[in-house]
Structure 1
Amino acid sequence: MDEKILEAEKYFNCEDSERIAFEVGIKLGALFHQFVGTPVSSKNIEKLESAMESTTESQAFVRAAEVKIKPEQSSNSERGPFDYTTLTGDMIEAKVEVKYKGIEAVGKMEYIESMNYPLMYLESLKM
């Protein structure tokens, strides 16, 4: 195991399953807060999705990331001569797969209409 990982372990007073849940939450939170407010249009939506996936996949323990931007979810829309809107939480659908010490977890973020909220949650945990 990498010595930096071993060094970091002394700061985590929790079980490995709790640690992986923490890691999933950090990844989804970073993805959300890093990109909300970014200008987005039909011309750059795929590039932005790819950038969001790539930056998430560069983080520790991440095995895969999938992002789908759904501009139709937002009350904002492309309008006027500038033809763009800004990314909001209700437009982001994301999935992050993380592996730590043999434990695999999948976290998701999606807009839940009945809650009027972009919910981040742990979809699965495999020991």
Structure 2
Amino acid sequence: MSTDTKPTIAEEACFEAGIKFGTLYHQFAGTPISPDSAPSLARAMEESIENQPHCRDVTVDVQTEVLEAELAESTADYTELTGRFLEVEIVVDYEDCTIVTRMEMEDGYPLMALESVREH
């Protein structure tokens, strides 16, 4: 007897959010970034991910103070983008469900978390 069950709408919406985070992080990790280029890179990241199905909103905040602190210890004018420079919020609308997710640093690691699930 099979115990397979069909995912709920909320579970499918969470899956969609995970796809968007995976794309955002792995598409842009390693991109050269400086304090001057941070705003345009953040906009490019937002606009790129917002193209994906079911994505209602993406907000990327580059932590410029963290970026500037790292560059102060370097002779370079730029560094590579990693999760330690980012705070991200992604909102997914999937069928009758809205998912709000976030990525921010926790204990030195960029963690992605489910903030809320609202079924309409």
1:34 equivalenced with 2:27 (yes/no): yes
* Cα distance in 2 for residues equivalent to 1:122 and 1:24: 9
**Aligned residue in 2 for 1:120:** 112
Question: Map of 1:10-49 to 2, 5 A cutoff?
Answer: 13-49=6-42
1:108 equivalenced with 2:102 (yes/no): yes
* Cα distance in 2 for residues equivalent to 1:24 and 1:73: 26
TM-score, structure 1 normalization: 0.82
SS at match of 1:77: helix
SS at match of 2:92: strand
State the 1:73 CA deviation: 3.1
RMSD of equivalent CA atoms:
1.8
1:92 equivalenced with 2:86 (yes/no): yes
Percentage of identical aligned residues: 38
State the 1:76 CA deviation: 3.6
**Which of 47, 50, 54 does residue 57 from structure 1 map onto?**
50
- Extract unaligned runs of 5+ from structure 2: 1-5
Q: Deviations over 1:27-82 (max 9, x none)?
A: 111111111110001121100000000001000100110001114336742632x4
Count of equivalent residues:
113
For 1:38, give the aligned amino acid.
Answer: T
**Aligned residue in 2 for 1:66:** 59
